[in-house]
């Protein structure tokens, strides 16, 4: 008997789910982009795993620690519960190839645009990338999804509007926000 592979929506965090704030690490600074919690709930209700994959080079730069990132994710989960939903798993890349210090100075496979975090999730959850999506606001998000074999979507929140017209993203579907991206995913 073969197991049925799962479908997932991989989400960038800053600028996709929550308002972009440089090196966000404080719970009191966290703010959802309007409609993001409802979009996550609709995706989960449709049977998708919702997995956050986020570069957190602030750890590498020693602006904050991994514990601060985890505390922020716990807060985010608590806030999502108010909307009757939550994220299935958070994967973080705490590294930076040139600006990191100590153990965090690393040219790793997990930093987006590489697919390391998505590949880790695939192993952990038996994900079918051909039935999955990556949604983000930067070229690195799109590249990571494509490298893993997901369909990549750009949202125009966060940095999305400033990079939407770039040639490298010309063929990528673009949406005003996560809510519209979820509408697209759910119509497939």
Q: Which residues are catalytic?
A: 12, 14
Phi, psi of 96 (to 5 degrees): -150, 135
Other C-beta atoms lying within 10 Å of the C-beta of residue 20? 17
Read off the DSSP letter of residue 13. S
Q: How many Cβ atoms sit within 10 Å of the Cβ of residue 29?
A: 12
Round to whole Å and give the CA distance between 149 and 187: 20
Q: Cβ–Cβ contacts within 10 Å for residue 44, how many? A: 18
């Amino acid at each position: 008997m073969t197991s049925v592979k799962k479908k997932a929506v991989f989400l960038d965090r800053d600028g996709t789910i929550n308002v972009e704030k440089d090196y966000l690490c404080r719970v009191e600074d966290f703010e959802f982009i309007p409609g993001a919690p409802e979009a996550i709930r609709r995706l989960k209700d449709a049977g998708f795993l919702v997995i956050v994959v986020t570069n957190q080079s602030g750890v590498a730069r020693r602006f904050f620690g991994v514990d601060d990132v985890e505390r922020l994710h716990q807060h985010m989960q608590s806030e999502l519960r108010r909307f009757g939903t939550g994220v299935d798993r958070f994967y973080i890349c705490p590294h930076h190839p040139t600006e990191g210090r100590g153990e965090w100075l690393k040219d790793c496979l997990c930093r987006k645009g590489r697919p390391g975090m998505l590949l880790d999730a695939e192993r952990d959850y038996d994900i079918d990338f051909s039935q999955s999506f990556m949604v983000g606001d930067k070229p690195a998000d799109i590249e990571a999804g494509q490298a893993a074999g997901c369909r990549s979507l750009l949202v125009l929140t966060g940095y999305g509007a400033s990079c939407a017209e770039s040639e490298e993203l010309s063929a990528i579907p673009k949406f005003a926000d996560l809510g519209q991206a979820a509408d697209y995913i759910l119509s497939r």
